[in-house]
């Protein structure tokens, strides 16, 4: 009693009690529970309005706003305060990304109003006080657009989408697209490279132009040529050049023509949609999609509603056995031939793989190429890679491989030429030939060997610089 009568003791006990109470509040999470209850009580005195942003529209098209909002929410600091957050490894070393989990609520402040986002399965729901709605809703949505555009302006993380079978959450699965191929690393005629780049650049700027013409804002390319000539690498270079995502369609996983349409519907703008080895699918009939299904995919009415701002790419080993309807003028905008390696392509490869701009063996290589080439850039690149420790050895092994792997006649004749020149190249000759054979086995290159003598890259259709 005497202690309680003493004001100093009383003050001391009160301070200790308050301190302990604070510690309990903070350490136990009681304060969070209290805050939550308080919110519930406050909610009873406000009327809220809800706005749903679904991932897909009624016609199963992807809703761009959904992705914009999701990206915006992932940029908010308050994401860390959500009860349950997913953690993912980022692209940079040691980078960790936070991602909202389903049924979690994230808070945002805008112009003094509280905005709540609820992540439901395939929907994002905005909860906002009715009294704030008229004042803040429009500016808030505009703010989300601006943040997204700023983010998109910086180099965004590209994605590679692949179609899967029987998936409940949509037909596309994505992984980060990290293919390093660029136009600089692709060996092709420099004139052609410049034309393709300017065609893509003018396509990017031509939205109004296409619409004035009543055309869908898309551009399609057919890449054809033997295996290992850089068709797939070219697709990656296009995607990196445009900063577009890639949708790679595996036709064996498409159940019928309408399924193919459905897949196209689910692609997003700013993307490269690719069908690789189209000729093989059609000739082997390894897909349930018909030729007319492919034609509809290429230019069907569907593309007018969801084909905007897309680059479509089809690759083939050769055009010979393909339905002429697919190749008819006007259907695919640009045809690009990918030939076997020529001297120009060789020099680009030597520069990339060996850091060589010139070498005393170059004239010899050029002479061999003048008789026609028998190897693809992939094969020559692999020989250079295997001998990258010694540029001279790499070049000799390329020379020997070109001579040995020539069309029989070229092989014998070439080897003789080397032997006559007194070069100690017998070893390289065998090594080169074996290396190429091994490489061919590895990459399944023993298949089609058509178009062996393909003198240069060419565009079947002139690229229209006006577009
Ligand atoms: N023109 C080229 N320039 C630079 N590298 C090339 C070129 N062609 C092929 N390569 C190299 O060879 C490898 C295989 O090339 P790629 O997969 O692009 O060939 P492809 O034409 O798509 O073959 P396929 O018809 O078998 O699919 C790649 O790793 C690439 O680096
Ligand atoms: Mg390929």
In order, the DSSP letters of 2-18 are HHHHSHHHHHHHHHHHH
What's the half-sphere exposure (Cβ side, CA atoms, 13 Å) at 331? 16
The kind and range of the H/E element at 274 are strand 271-275
123-129 and 113-120 as β-strands: parallel, antiparallel, unpaired?
Answer: antiparallel
- Phi, psi (5° rounding) for residue 426? -55, -45
Over the stretch 154-167, which tens digit does the pLDDT of each residue have? Answer: 656 889 999 988 66
What pLDDT, on a 0 to 100 scale, did the predictor assign at position 314? 95
Taking the CB of residue 163, how many other CB atoms lie within 10 A of it? Answer: 22
Compute, in angstroms, the gap from residue 136 CA to the centroid of ligand 1: 53
What pLDDT, on a 0 to 100 scale, did the predictor assign at position 303? 54
Ligand 1 atom, smallest distance to 276 CA = 27
What is the rounded average pLDDT of the residues 303-331?
82
Say whether the ipTM exceeds 0.90.
yes
115 — pLDDT class (breaks 50, 70, 90): very high
Q: What is the mean pLDDT of the chain?
A: 79
349 — pLDDT class (breaks 50, 70, 90): very high
Residues with CB under 5 A from ligand 2 (ion): 231-232
Instruction: Give the residue, out of 192, 223, 377, with the most ligand 1 atoms within 8 A of its beta carbon, to mutate for a pocket test.
Output: 377
- The residue contributing the CA closest to ligand 1 atom 4 is 186
Average the pLDDT over each of 127-141, 243-257, 380-394, 400-414 and give the range with the smallest value. 400-414
What pLDDT, on a 0 to 100 scale, did the predictor assign at position 419? 25
* Token output for 248: 């790679």
What is the rounded average pLDDT of the residues 342-363?
91
Say which residue, 418 or 81, is predicted with more confidence. Answer: 81
What pLDDT, on a 0 to 100 scale, did the predictor assign at position 467? 36
Say which residue, 242 or 44, is predicted with more confidence. Answer: 242
Crossing angle, helix 391-404 and helix 409-420, to 10 degrees? Answer: 140
What is the rounded average pLDDT of the residues 68-87?
85
Instruction: Give the residue, out of 223, 228, 237, with the most ligand 1 atoms within 8 A of its beta carbon, to mutate for a pocket test.
Output: 228
Q: Is the CB of 233 under 6 A from ligand 1?
A: yes
What is the rounded average pLDDT of the residues 278-286?
84
Say which residue, 40 or 307, is predicted with more confidence. Answer: 40
Compute, in angstroms, the gap from residue 228 CA to the centroid of ligand 1: 4
**pTM of the prediction?**
0.66
Q: Is the CB of 187 under 6 A from ligand 1?
A: yes
Nearest Cα to Cα of residue 349 among 324, 381, 307, 319:
381
Say which residue, 236 or 307, is predicted with more confidence. Answer: 236
Place of tokens 């990017």: 204
Q: Is the CB of 274 under 6 A from ligand 1?
A: no
Query: In whole angstroms, what is the distance from residue 205 CA to residue 356 CA?
Result: 37
- Phi, psi (5° rounding) for residue 33? -60, -40
Q: In the chain, what are the domains?
A: 34-153 (no CATH), 172-337 (3.40.50.300), 343-443 (no CATH)
Instruction: Give the residue, out of 378, 440, 445, with the most ligand 1 atoms within 8 A of its beta carbon, to mutate for a pocket test.
Output: 378
Nearest Cα to Cα of residue 100 among 71, 74, 68, 127:
74
Say which residue, 250 or 37, is predicted with more confidence. Answer: 250
Specify burial of residue 168 (Cβ count, 10 A radius: 0-12, 13-18, 19+). exposed
- The residue contributing the CA closest to ligand 1 atom 17 is 232
What pLDDT, on a 0 to 100 scale, did the predictor assign at position 302? 55
Over the stretch 420-457, which tens digit does the pLDDT of each residue have? Answer: 222 222 222 233 344 444 444 433 333 333 333 333 33
Query: In whole angstroms, what is the distance from residue 97 CA to residue 120 CA?
Result: 20
Q: Are 222 and 232 in contact (CB under 8 A)?
A: no
> Which range, 48-62, 125-139, 169-183, is most confident?
125-139
What pLDDT, on a 0 to 100 scale, did the predictor assign at position 407? 46
What pLDDT, on a 0 to 100 scale, did the predictor assign at position 1? 55
What pLDDT, on a 0 to 100 scale, did the predictor assign at position 137? 92
> Which range, 302-306, 413-417, 458-462, is most confident?
302-306
Q: Is the CB of 451 under 6 A from ligand 1?
A: no
Over the stretch 28-40, which tens digit does the pLDDT of each residue have? Answer: 777 777 777 887 7
Q: Are 234 and 314 in contact (CB under 8 A)?
A: no
Query: In whole angstroms, what is the distance from residue 190 CA to residue 45 CA?
Result: 70
What pLDDT, on a 0 to 100 scale, did the predictor assign at position 346? 92
């Amino acid at each position: 009693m005497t202690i309680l009568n003493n004001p100093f003791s009383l003050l001391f006990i009160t301070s200790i009690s308050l301190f302990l109470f604070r510690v309990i509040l903070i350490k136990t999470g009681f304060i969070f529970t209290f805050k939550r209850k308080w919110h519930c009580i406050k909610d009873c005195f406000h009327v809220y309005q809800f706005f749903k942003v679904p991932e897909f529209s009624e016609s199963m098209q992807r809703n761009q706003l959904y992705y914009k909002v999701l990206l915006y929410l992932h940029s908010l600091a308050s994401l860390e305060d959500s009860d349950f957050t997913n953690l993912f490894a980022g692209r940079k070393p040691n980078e960790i990304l936070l991602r909202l989990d389903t049924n979690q609520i994230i808070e945002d402040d805008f112009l003094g109003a509280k905005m709540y986002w609820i992540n439901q399965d395939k929907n994002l729901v905005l909860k906002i006080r009715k009294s704030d709605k008229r004042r803040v809703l429009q500016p808030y949505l505009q703010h989300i657009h601006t943040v997204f555009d700023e983010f998109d302006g910086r180099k965004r993380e590209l994605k590679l989408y692949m179609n899967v079978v029987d998936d409940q959450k949509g037909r596309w699965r994505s992984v980060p697209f990290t293919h390093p191929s660029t136009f600089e690393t692709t060996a092709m005629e420099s004139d052609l490279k410049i034309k393709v780049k300017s065609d893509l650049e003018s396509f990017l700027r031509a939205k109004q132009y296409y619409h004035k013409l009543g055309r869908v804002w898309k551009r399609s390319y057919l890449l054809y040529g033997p295996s290992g000539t850089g068709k797939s690498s070219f697709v990656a270079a296009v995607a990196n050049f445009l900063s577009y995502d890639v949708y790679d369609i595996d036709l064996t996983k498409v159940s019928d023509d309408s399924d193919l349409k459905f897949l196209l519907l689910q692609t997003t703008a700013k993307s490269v949609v690719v069908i690789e080895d189209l000729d093989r699918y059609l000739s082997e009939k390894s897909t349930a999609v018909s030729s007319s299904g492919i034609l509809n995919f290429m230019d069907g009415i569907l593309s007018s509603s969801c084909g905007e701002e897309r680059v479509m790419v089809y690759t083939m080993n050769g055009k010979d056995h393909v339905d002429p309807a697919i190749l008819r003028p006007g259907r695919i905008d640009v045809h690009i031939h990918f030939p076997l390696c020529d001297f120009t392509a060789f020099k680009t490869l030597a520069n990339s793989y060996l850091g060589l701009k010139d070498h005393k063996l170059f004239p010899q290589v050029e002479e061999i190429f003048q008789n026609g080439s028998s190897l693809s850039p992939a094969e020559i690149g692999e020989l250079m890679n295997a001998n990258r420790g010694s540029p001279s050895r790499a070049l000799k092994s390329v020379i020997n491989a070109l001579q040995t792997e020539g069309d029989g006649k070229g092989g014998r004749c070439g080897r003789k030429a080397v032997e006559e020149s007194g070069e100690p190249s017998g070893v390289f000759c065998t090594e080169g030939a074996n290396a190429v054979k091994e490489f061919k086995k590895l990459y399944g290159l023993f298949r089609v060997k058509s178009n062996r003598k393909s003198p240069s890259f060419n565009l079947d259709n002139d690229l229209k610089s006006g577009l």
